[in-house]
């Protein structure tokens, strides 16, 4: 996965999405922002919508699970 940064403002976390993301609108992907204690996740098509926050351990487990598929 290659990360591409999206723009953020001020105290907004630095968001990334995979360069592999694609779809009819070009934004069919989730974006991730990493902080020391939390991984933030949002829909790239609705950046002002709901966000999910998980621990780095939970994110690592998810990524490991997905890579194993």
Q: What is the DSSP string of the chain?
A: --EEEPP--TTS--EEEETT---TTS--SEEEEE-SS-EEEEETT-TTS-EEEE-HHHHHHHHHHHHT-
Output the pTM of the full model: 0.69
pLDDT tens string 28-67: 688 899 998 999 999 888 889 999 999 999 999 988 887 7
Instruction: Answer with the residue of higher pLDDT: 68 or 18.
Output: 68
pLDDT tens string 6-24: 555 557 789 988 666 666 6
């Amino acid at each position: 996965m290659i990360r591409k940064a999206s723009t953020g403002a001020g105290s907004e976390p630095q968001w990334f999405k995979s360069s592999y993301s694609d779809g009819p609108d070009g934004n069919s992907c989730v974006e991730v922002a990493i902080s020391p204690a939390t991984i933030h996740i949002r829909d790239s098509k609705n950046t002002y919508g709901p966000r999910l926050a998980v621990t780095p351990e939970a994110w690592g487990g998810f990524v490991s699970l997905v890579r194993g598929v």
